[in-house]
Chains A and B, each alone.
Chain A
């Protein structure tokens, strides 16, 4: 492995040239990425508005107040005032101030998700649904553009499918350790995603986001009539609603880790590469 590097040494440019600028993201990827940011933010917050109308999630073909909820957010009157809670299965966590019961100015309101997390901020299910469906259409169109481009121009195969040598357990374990120690790729390695990135992006683009769309459509009584296999696939409309919520929550987790990694592994460089496409690779570590 040393030989090619030695060969390249004589042609490598002056010290200033140890920083190389490459084009990292194509125009379509950059555009669809930011449209996705907009869509996901609005879909999430209008989705929480819709969720607040009935903050209980069920499993099965039916589910309403008298049926057992798998997940529920609510409020209870206690001796000294209202208490908010988050319940999942047998677990019940007090969440006063954020979930179930929150403050709006000086007033205490009983809302599953607080007003600063919902669109509109005030209670309006009709408006929340209008926002949700407008941006759901945009997300679907954006997703089709992304997938068509990704398949047609090879972005998914070339940049997102892990290489064979990236798939060994030892290699993946090494990447987990590198991530945990915040050791990020440099030089030539920085040209490509590592396998954890690849698998995560594939999970988001090919599993979680399509799952959002499908479970969302499964909540439609109209589309249930057209595609009866949809509720069957997810175990009923209430189950699809639960999965819709869980995959949205998974996407939120992804966004948190994603943004954290973007900040830690070179914020401006990463951000610029998703805006102008230009990404700077530091070759100073290559010679070692």
Chain B
């Protein structure tokens, strides 16, 4: 009896020791250069297969007004903490301008009124957060492709970078400023819009006033809020952390299709 008892204790001890060291091993592997790379390579496989299936025009589902979430959760920054933004907000964004530059023939500086005079697109879509929650909202704005056409994208351009007014992490070098990027295929997707309206009202501050991106076939963190500047680039590896976005620099996938 005692022998059986001690054998069981040895076995459970062994199992928990193996478990603990495996967990520690997983932590170390996550942080190691080699396996960290392997983990990141999966993204290419995922993006490749999604792109193979998706095509350029496939639309995300659009819902009806009866499907709207009663309360649309606001996430990330709720109010950018800067004097510049406070001043813009105070004047109802009358002084706000969207800069469009980088690899374009005609850099633009657009006011909110100018954007609203362009033919709008309205869509009711589901917002899927990387954390797992979903909310359905109605968005109104200008197709990004239209803006890019007005600015005339130069050959060699591959990505569109969105520079935002909010700092999600306060840092000395400013690397905590929110930014995002998508490639031209998503930029020219019909449902990719720069939204200034939500649920029939002007875009609320908590949801990114005066202008936010909607890129419906990807997760929420791609939908940059508080847009200030759109930059067309051939590569983003020299920008901040080099991975193409605030969360990407902190370990999230650049292609957020799942």
**Contact indicator A220/B27 (Cβ below 8 Å):** no
**CB of A238 closer than 8 Å to a CB of B:** yes
**Contact indicator A222/B23 (Cβ below 8 Å):** no
Shortest C-beta distance, B63 to chain A (Å), equals 7
Cβ-defined partner of A127 (8 Å) among B39, B53, B72, B129: B39
**Contact indicator B128/A219 (Cβ below 8 Å):** yes
**Contact indicator A134/B38 (Cβ below 8 Å):** yes
Cβ-defined partner of B50 (8 Å) among A122, A134, A222: A222
Shortest C-beta distance, B39 to chain A (Å), equals 4
**Contact indicator B73/A64 (Cβ below 8 Å):** yes
**CB of B46 closer than 8 Å to a CB of A:** yes
**Residues of the A chain whose Cβ atoms lie less than 8 Å from the Cβ of B185:** none
**Contact indicator A224/B61 (Cβ below 8 Å):** yes
Q: Provide the bound-state CA to CA distance between A241 and B131, in Å.
A: 11
**Contact indicator A125/B131 (Cβ below 8 Å):** yes
Interface stretch (choices B85-93, B132-140, B160-168, B176-184): B132-140
Residue from A62, A116, A122 having most chain B Cβ neighbours under 10 A: A62
**CB of A67 closer than 8 Å to a CB of B:** yes
The verdict on A222 contacting B71 (CB below 8 Å), with A119-B23, A125-B130 known, is no
Interface contacts (Cβ under 8 Å), in number, total 144
**CB of B126 closer than 8 Å to a CB of A:** yes
How many residues of B are in contact with the other chain, CB < 8 A?
A: 49
A130 to chain B: closest residue by CB: B39
- As a 0/1 sequence over residues 220 to 238 of chain B, the CB contacts with chain A under 8 angstroms (1 = contact) are 0000000000000000000
**Residues of the A chain whose Cβ atoms lie less than 8 Å from the Cβ of B38:** 134
Main secondary structure of the interface of A (DSSP, over half): helix
The verdict on A222 contacting B217 (CB below 8 Å), with A62-B69, A66-B70 known, is yes
Q: Provide the bound-state CA to CA distance between A221 and B42, in Å.
A: 18
**CB of B251 closer than 8 Å to a CB of A:** yes
Residue from A53, A129, A137 having most chain B Cβ neighbours under 10 A: A129
Q: Provide the bound-state CA to CA distance between A75 and B219, in Å.
A: 27
The verdict on A237 contacting B130 (CB below 8 Å), with A65-B73, A223-B257 known, is no
Cβ-defined partner of B46 (8 Å) among A133, A219, A238: A133
Cβ-defined partner of A122 (8 Å) among B27, B131, B216: B27
Shortest C-beta distance, B30 to chain A (Å), equals 5
Shortest C-beta distance, B122 to chain A (Å), equals 18
- Name the interface residues of B205-258: CB closer than 8 Å to any CB of A: 216-219, 247, 250-253, 257-258
Interface stretch (choices A16-24, A92-100, A199-207, A225-233): A225-233
B216 to chain A: closest residue by CB: A221
Q: Provide the bound-state CA to CA distance between A268 and B101, in Å.
A: 69
**Contact indicator A65/B128 (Cβ below 8 Å):** no
Name 16 extra pairs, CB < 8 A, besides A63-B133, A119-B30.
Answer: A54-B129, A61-B126, A62-B135, A120-B30, A126-B247, A126-B251, A133-B46, A137-B42, A217-B258, A219-B258, A220-B257, A221-B218, A223-B53, A225-B216, A225-B217, A237-B134
Residues of A within 8 A of B (CB): 42, 45, 50-51, 53-54, 56, 58, 61-67, 116, 119-122, 124-127, 129-131, 133-134, 137, 217, 219-226, 228, 231, 236-238, 241
Q: Which 3 A-B pairs have the closest CB atoms?
A: A222-B257, A126-B251, A220-B258
16 contacts between A and B (CB under 8 A): A50-B132, A53-B130, A54-B133, A62-B67, A62-B69, A64-B71, A119-B26, A119-B27, A124-B30, A126-B253, A130-B251, A134-B42, A217-B258, A221-B216, A221-B218, A222-B218
